[in-house]
Amino acid sequence: MSTLIDGIRKSRFVVFGRAGMDMFADPPGTKAEHAQSFRADLGGSSANICAGLCKLGAHSALVTSVSNDCVGRFCTNRLNHYGVDTQYLRVLDGEYRVSLAVYESTMEDFQNCIYRNNAVDFQVTPQDVDRVDYGAYGALITAGTVFAAEPSRGATFRAFENARAAGLPVIFDIDYRPYSWPSPEVAAEVLSRAGAESDLIVGNDEEFGFMAGGLDKGLDKARELAAQPGRIVIYKMGQEGAMTFADGQEIRTGVFPVTAVKPNGAGDSFMAGLLAALAEGRALRDAVLRGSACAAIVVSQPGCAPAMPTTAELEQFLATHPGPTSV
């Protein structure tokens, strides 16, 4: 585990995955089909993690492709706005498009309509990942969506090899999105391979259950993965908190109750908060709790990237909010 933690403490992360545009109905509480106006900002799981890390004082660089159009430029500009390093973005001509998510800030029958036709982020190539200066970073992060199609699947596994050669640990957010995959069988096989090649794995109970072939087998799958020396596995259970497995220990942590206005963005913010806390030298239990606090903050506000807390906002939340719940 020391290699993993030492890498994270460099507080410099190279992140693989998608950037997208989020459009969310305004004002909060408005159903998307009845909205007369929408707010727009950065979206996409990996881009959100990057923005969250930067807002918490870490350095992040995103490796992805964006479309050569106004939406691609919008995403690039918003990444720059949040302080994300965009030197590894490749701009593609043609019919490939940045993903678009249209959603609402209401928990009642929440809708998130995602447009992923000809998704440009799947066009990341081995040449793209070979351009990265891995020695400039302390750890590699990826979200599972990159593995759903080629060429980004093979390219990201190649990035894993490059990271290993450079001595970087691999951090994997399972992030299973069924609509992106050709079949559940392919997804289970590929995501299991990615988990086996990673040093820190984060997922929810459904995602681990999916990898294991049944929801009731997810916890056993997490424990099995955690049996690898030096690996950390975090098994999230929604309102039930999380279980963290590391060095033979099982750490139970609760959540910070809030009035949620939407469910999405929580996992991305959890990852950013967790890694930023570990980078600051905090203990693993404390880091998980800070990640949980970040998740609570994001679901209580509209948007994803704009709702990610700064360090000052996170400290203010922790100082004034009850929690975490006992487990």
Domain annotation for the chain: domains and CATH numbers: 2-17+48-63+76-88+135-320 (3.40.1190.20)
Give the Cβ contact number of residue 126 at 10 Å. Answer: 16
The single residue listed with the structure tokens 């799981």 is 45
Which residues on adjacent β-strands are paired with residue 166? none
**Distance, CA of 324 to CA of 256 (rounded, Å):** 5
Q: Tell me which residue of 36, 52, 47 sits closest to 295, measured CA to CA.
A: 52
Q: Which amino acid is at 264?
A: N
Q: What is the DSSP string of 297-324?
A: HHHTSSSSGGGSPPHHHHHHHHHHS--P
End-to-end CA distance of the chain: 25
User: Residues 52-85, buried b or exposed e (16+ Cβ, 10 A)?
Assistant: bbbbbebbbbbbbbbbeeebbebbbebbeebebb
Going residue by residue through the chain, which has 327 residues, state the pLDDT in tens, using 9 for 90 and above: 689 999 999 999 999 999 999 999 999 999 999 999 999 999 999 999 999 999 999 999 999 999 999 999 999 999 999 999 999 999 999 999 999 999 999 999 999 999 999 999 999 999 999 999 999 999 999 999 999 999 999 999 999 999 999 999 999 999 999 989 999 999 999 999 999 999 999 999 999 999 998 889 999 999 999 999 999 999 999 999 999 999 999 999 999 999 999 999 999 999 999 999 999 999 999 999 999 999 999 999 999 999 999 999 999 999 999 889 876
User: Residues 184-213, buried b or exposed e (16+ Cβ, 10 A)?
Assistant: eeebbebbbebbeebbbbbbbbebbbbbbe
Q: What is the DSSP string of 171-222?
A: EEE----GGGSS-HHHHHHHHHHHHHT-SEEEEEHHHHHHHHTSGGGHHHHH
Task: Identify the DSSP state of 98.
Answer: -
**Distance, CA of 270 to CA of 201 (rounded, Å):** 13
**Distance, CA of 119 to CA of 320 (rounded, Å):** 42
